[in-house]
């Protein structure tokens, strides 16, 4: 995601092994984007950033069933962290080009996000939590 925001091009990149940051300017706003990675070692360092973040972009390989369950577990843990209760989390599925990729509704179902406020590709509201 960080590479795309910097270059405006999709590219085959390697998984993030160490956190890396860069500033990205969109319109008149400059954002500091940090790619923390999602492997087990990287996830242990996520807490170090909880005090300084304004939002989370959580990228998921929507073609890997085992990792989707791992992602669900991590998202559930993030949603329980007190410091993150008012921090927006955008969950994005990638690898849509693969034949075994879950579609948007299937991914939402697998992640247990059926009662959260979510939006589809056409930006129409799909579901909203009743609470």
Please tell me whether 28 is known to bind a ligand. no
Please tell me whether 16 is known to bind a ligand. yes
Residues 6+ away with beta carbon under 8 Å from 123: none
- Residue 99 zone, left/alpha/beta (φ > 0; ψ -120 to 50; rest): alpha
CB 18 within 8 A of CB 34: no
Q: How many C-beta neighbours within 10 Å does residue 53 have?
A: 15
Please tell me whether 98 is known to bind a ligand. no
Cα–Cα dist 117/49, whole Å: 25
Phi, psi values for residue 30, rounded to 5°: -105, 125
Please tell me whether 94 is known to bind a ligand. yes
Please tell me whether 116 is known to bind a ligand. no
Please tell me whether 38 is known to bind a ligand. yes
Q: Which residues are annotated as a binding site for Mg(2+)?
A: 16
Residues annotated within a binding site: 16, 38, 94-97
- Residues annotated within the binding site for GTP are 38, 94-97
């Amino acid at each position: 995601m960080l590479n795309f925001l910097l270059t405006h091009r999709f590219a085959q990149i390697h998984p993030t092994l160490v956190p890396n940051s860069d500033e990205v300017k969109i319109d008149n706003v400059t954002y500091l984007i940090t790619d923390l990675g999602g492997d087990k070692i990287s996830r242990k360092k996520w807490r170090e950033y909880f005090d300084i973040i304004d939002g989370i972009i959580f990228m998921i390989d929507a073609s890997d069933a085992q990792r989707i369950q791992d992602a669900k577990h991590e998202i559930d843990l993030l949603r329980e962290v007190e410091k993150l209760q008012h921090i927006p989390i955008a969950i994005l599925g990638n690898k849509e080009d693969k034949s075994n990729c879950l579609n948007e509704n299937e991914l939402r179902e697998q992640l247990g996000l059926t009662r959260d406020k979510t939006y589809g590709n056409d930006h129409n509201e799909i579901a909203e939590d009743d609470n």
